[in-house]
């Protein structure tokens, strides 16, 4: 019996061969994409931070929707006619996405940076040497978690926010309104993109602290300072900065100077795709 036949037989029987080359090479060769997906699902499901992120995101979104709806609804009667014309019940109820995008972006970053921090990335790449397969599995599992979480967060914020507005006799929407469906579904897609943005940044940077700092800058700081930027630069950032353009998906009032809801979300998706592509390139070339 040849040496090759012997190794195949031992691998098929799951027998410890006592030969180093067999124990290392055979499992790696058999690791398919579905195995990588299963492994990543176990990792994200058992990560303690995953549950905290989901619960924290849900609580903060519900709380902000209630507070914002109550405050804006109480002020509605005192607004001028011009201000009432731009009153946006959808955006008021979904304002919690500002915090939710950070939370899900952080979850996306942790999916890869936690492995670099604990050095388990070495064993991951030993088990699945095909790096694109590893990162693709991480992205797929992350999106599979972020999408339903985003849907739950958006629906909860919408229902609580509209109830608060209705309690103040202010304009509000029902779940059957077309704007409601677009805001809830579009909001969940936006939050999924925020999670993938975190994964892309974490893959390139590999540091949890630096990833969190970058996410705050990209998702919040630029948005906060955009109105203070001079002239054309301020207008360009307000219109084309991907997170700001993508955020139009949760607004009901249409500003003609800004991108439309789906065009803005498309720009956000394109930016995340570019960054993920950069992440795949970097992940494939650098040492673990």
- Measured between alpha carbons, how far is 157 from 92 in angstroms, rounded to an integer? 9
- Using DSSP's 3-state secondary structure scheme, residue 274 falls into helix
Chain mean position to CA 17: 44
> 190, 246 in Cβ contact below 8 A?
yes
Q: Which stretches of the chain are DSSP H helices? A: 3-13, 20-30, 33-46, 48-75, 81-85, 89-93, 97-118, 121-127, 131-167, 178-205, 208-216, 222-225, 231-240, 242-246, 261-285
Burial (CB < 10 A; 0-12, 13-18, 19+), residue 81, is exposed
Give domain limits for the chain.
Answer: 33-285
**pLDDT given for residue 8 in this prediction:** 42
pLDDT in tens, the chain (288 residues): 443 443 444 344 444 444 444 444 455 556 788 889 999 999 998 887 888 888 888 888 999 999 999 999 889 888 999 888 899 999 999 988 899 999 999 999 999 999 999 889 999 998 888 999 999 999 999 999 999 999 999 999 999 999 999 998 999 999 888 899 999 999 999 999 999 999 999 999 999 999 999 999 999 999 888 888 888 998 999 999 999 999 999 999 988 889 999 999 999 999 999 999 999 999 998 877
Position 29 scores a pLDDT of 54
pLDDT score at 30: 65
Residue 263: what pLDDT? 97
What pTM, to 2 d.p., does this model score? 0.86
Q: Return the pLDDT at 37.
A: 94
């Amino acid at each position: 019996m040849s040496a090759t036949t012997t190794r195949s037989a031992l691998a098929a029987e799951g027998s410890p061969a006592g030969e180093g080359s067999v124990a290392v090479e055979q499992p790696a060769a058999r690791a398919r994409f579905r195995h990588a997906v299963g492994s990543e699902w176990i990792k994200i499901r058992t990560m303690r931070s995953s549950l905290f992120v989901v619960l924290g995101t849900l609580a903060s979104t519900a709380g902000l929707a209630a507070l914002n709806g109550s405050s804006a609804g109480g002020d509605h009667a005192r607004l001028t006619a011009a201000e009432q014309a731009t009153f946006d019940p959808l955006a008021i109820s979904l304002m919690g996405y500002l915090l939710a995008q950070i939370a899900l972006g952080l979850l996306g970053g942790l999916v890869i940076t936690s492995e670099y921090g604990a050095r388990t990335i070495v064993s991951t790449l030993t088990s699945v040497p095909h790096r694109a397969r590893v990162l693709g599995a991480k992205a797929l599992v992350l999106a599979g978690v972020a999408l339903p979480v985003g849907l739950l967060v958006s629906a909860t914020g919408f229902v609580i926010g509209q109830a608060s507005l209705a309690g103040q006799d202010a304009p509000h929407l029902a779940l059957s309104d077309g704007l409601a469906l677009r805001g809830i579904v579009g909001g969940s897609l936006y939050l999924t993109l925020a999670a993938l943005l975190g994964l892309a940044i974490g893959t390139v940077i590999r540091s949890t602290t630096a990833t969190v700092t970058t996410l705050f800058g990209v998702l919040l700081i630029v948005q906060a300072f955009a109105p203070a930027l001079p002239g054309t630069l301020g207008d360009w950032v307000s219109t084309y900065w991907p997170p700001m353009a993508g955020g139009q998906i949760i607004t009901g009032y249409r500003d003609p100077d800004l991108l439309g809801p789906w065009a803005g979300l498309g720009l956000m998706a394109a930016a995340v795709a570019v960054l993920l592509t950069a992440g795949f390139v970097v992940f494939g070339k650098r040492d673990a």
